[in-house]
Amino acid sequence: MILLCSGINYLAGLALASHEEEKTRKLILATSYILSLGLLGVFKYYNFFIDNFINAFALAGIYLQARTLDIILPLGISFYTFKALSYTIDAYFRKLEPTKDIIAFFAFVGFFPQLLAGPIDRATNLLPQFYIKRTFEYDKAVDGMRQILWGLFKKIVIADNCARFVNDIFANYETLPASALVLGAVFFSFQIYGDFSGYSDIAIGTSRLFGFSSMRNFNVPYFSRDIAEFWRRWHISLTSWFRDYLYIPLGGNRGTKYRVVRNTFIVFLVCGLWHGANWTFIAWGLINALYFLPLLLLGKNRKNIDTVAQGKTLPNIKELFQIVTTFALATLAWIFFRADSIGQAFAYIGNIFSKSSKAVVEYSSLELIPLLLIMIAVEWLQRDKQHGLDFNNRKIPTFVRIIIYYALIFITMLFGSSQQSFIYFKF
């Protein structure tokens, strides 16, 4: 699949390099689009659309017979398809010179650290790095190792530990008290952040070990003061992809209000669908579009573009309120992302507001709180840096750094597993 996708876009690049006529270039771009997205569509969305098509007709009393495909979704297909497509689109818009170097191009698309979970790096940034001979860069490698360590902490300690409570709470949401459901939603927010940004840190850090500079993928999104800022800081490689290759070509925020609203909805819905073939992801996209639109229409979507509380140790009350509110809105939307169905998401939210509150200590989840606080504190202190352990331009004594490394390694080792594996009546 990856070879096919790379091959399509490599040939499209070569074709674009040898054709100047606009009509032909458009045809090449359209072919590349259809073939690349067609592969993605078949493997990722075919069954979803067929099922919904059948269900839609069934509502009208027409029962269709159609076969769904018994196929396995190729790993990372959404990531490398978008990566390869960005190359063709940039070549079409003459933002880059199409490459003839087949090895460099295939290595760019299949660059192993980014293959499974991004970042969806751009050809303009990554491809030229394959042309040059790299030499070992000590500072880059050390920084890469630090970023990997921070990523491991977020993935193994935060995400994996949150996951076991989240799985338990979402599986039993019908019987649990409201406080547990709130906790489940909050933990899921940290789980998905720890998981995704942790993977990104590991990928970027690994790239740096090999001398490659990848684009940043997460920039402390949970310290955002509004949803527009959140989306500038969350999964940056994807959101900027949609901005550059979908939102702006659709007209962006130029034109009538109707067009702006339409473009915003399209981008968020497609963004939701990109995450998976399920209505829950589409609902998640829709909710975020509804969050985002008022800011856009009121011209406040670029109000918070700097780092929060810059130069200060703590945020002020207003900033804190904005951060908490944004986090709460994001968390509410994440419930749809995590739920198995839209019905379950609504039932989950409904239970939060209808169930009586009880202590949540019974879930022994309190042991997670100090770990979450460590992550939040480190990310807050490092919010103007590239990652949690970016010590560049910081005067930190060697022994303190070593203590930090060892502490993180120990925490990652000791909290990398869970009691869940042990809780079993031994017969």
Partner 1 sequence: MNNKNLNKFIYKTLIVLFPFLLFLLLYIILDPFMVIHGYPFYKKGNVVGIDKDYVSTTTYEKQYQKYRYDSFIFGNSRSMFYEVSDWQKYLPSNSSCYHFDASAESLYGIYKKILYIDQKGESLNNVLIIVDADTLSKDKSLEGHLFIISPQLENNKHIVKFHTTFFKDFYYYKFLYAFLDYKISGKVKDYMRDNHLLDDRLFDYNQITNEARNLDAEEKIWKATYYTNKRLSGFNRLQGDFVSVPAIKDSQRQMLEEIKKIFTKHHTNYRIVISPPYDQIKFNPEDLHYLEDLFGKDFVFDFSGRNILTETYQNYYDNIHYRPQVSRQIMGIIYETDSTKRANMIEALGIK
Question: Which residue's CB is nearer to partner 1, number 189 or number 191?
Answer: 191
Q: Is 2 in the site for partner 1 (CB under 8 A)?
A: no
Cα-based distances in Å from 39 to 27, 46, 279: 18, 10, 21
| DSSP H helix total and E strand total for the chain | 18, 0
Q: Which of 63, 138, 353, 399 binds partner 1 (CB under 8 A)?
A: 138
Q: How far is the CB of 42 from partner 1 (least distance, A)?
A: 21
Considering only residues 1, 2, 39, 145, which one is a binding residue for partner 1 as defined by CB under 8 A? 145
Q: CB of 277: closest distance to partner 1 in angstroms? A: 18
When the beta carbons of 164 and 232 are compared against partner 1, the nearer one is: 164
**Residues whose CB falls within 8 Å of the CB of residue 350, separated by 6 or more in sequence, listed in order:** none
Q: One symbol per residue from 380 to 409: x for binding partner 1 (CB under 8 A), - otherwise; what is it? A: ----------------------x--xx--x
Minimum separation from the CB atom of position 104 to partner 1 (A): 23
Is 387 marked active-site?
Answer: no
Written as six digits, the tokens of 199 are: 């993977």
Q: What Cα–Cα distance (Å) separates residue 214 from each residue in 86, 210, 295, 394? A: 15, 11, 30, 22
The closest of 268, 192, 168, 175 to 228, measured between CA atoms, is: 268
Work out whether 427 is an interface residue with partner 1 (CB under 8 A).
yes
In angstroms, give the least distance from the CB of 371 to partner 1: 12
Q: Angle 209-210-216 (CA atoms, 0-180°, nearest 5)?
A: 70
Question: By CB under 8 A, what part of segment 407-426 binds partner 1?
Answer: 409-410, 413-426
Closer by beta carbon to partner 1, 265 or else 405: 405
Q: Could you tell me if 231 and 170 are in contact, meaning their C-beta atoms sit under 8 angstroms apart?
A: no
User: What secondary structure does DSSP assign to 233-247, as a single string?
Assistant: HSSHHHHHHHIIIII
Using the minimum distance from each CB to partner 1, give the nearer residue, 127 or 157: 157
Structure letter (DSSP) for residue 172: T
CB of 420 to partner 1, least distance (A): 7
Task: Select 54 or 246, whichever has its Cβ closest to partner 1.
Answer: 54
DSSP 124-155: HHHHHHHHSPP---HHHHHHHHHHHHHHHIII
Closest approach of Cβ 1 to partner 1, in Å? 21
| C-alpha to C-alpha distance for 130 and 388, rounded to whole angstroms | 28
Is residue 347 part of the contact set for partner 1 (CB under 8 A)? no
Shortest reach from residue 167's CB to partner 1, in Å: 11
Q: How many residues bind partner 1 (CB under 8 A)?
A: 27
Q: Which is nearer to partner 1, 54 or 142 (CB)?
A: 142
Does residue 119 have a cis peptide bond before it, meaning omega lies within 30 degrees of 0?
A: yes
Q: Which are the contacts of 180, defined by CB distance < 8 A and separation ≥ 6?
A: 169, 358, 360, 363
Interaction between residue 354 and partner 1 (CB under 8 A): no
Residue at 56: amino acid letter: A
Q: How far is the CB of 137 from partner 1 (least distance, A)?
A: 8
Residues 201-260 that bind partner 1 (CB under 8 A): none
Q: Which is nearer to partner 1, 331 or 412 (CB)?
A: 412
Choice between 138 and 353, CB closer to partner 1: 138
DSSP string of 287-354, one letter each residue: HHHHHHHHHHHTT-TTS--S-TTTT-SS--HHHHHHHHHHHHHHHHHHHHHHSSSHHHHHHHHHHHHH
Q: Which residue of 1, 142, 290, 376 would you call a contact of partner 1, by CB under 8 A? A: 142
The count of other CB atoms within 10 Å of the CB of residue 161 is 24
Contacting residue, 63, 136, 258, 353, with partner 1 by CB under 8 A: 136
Exactly one of 18, 65, 135, 310 binds partner 1 (CB under 8 A); that residue is 135
> What is residue 361's DSSP assignment?
G
Question: Catalytic: which of 19, 235, 275, 387?
Answer: 275
Q: Which amino acid is at 246?
A: L
93 makes contact with partner 1 (CB under 8 A):
no
Q: Does 73 bind partner 1 (CB under 8 A)?
A: no
Q: Which residues are catalytic?
A: 275
Binding positions for partner 1, rule: CB under 8 A: 135-138, 141-142, 145, 402, 405-406, 409-410, 413-427
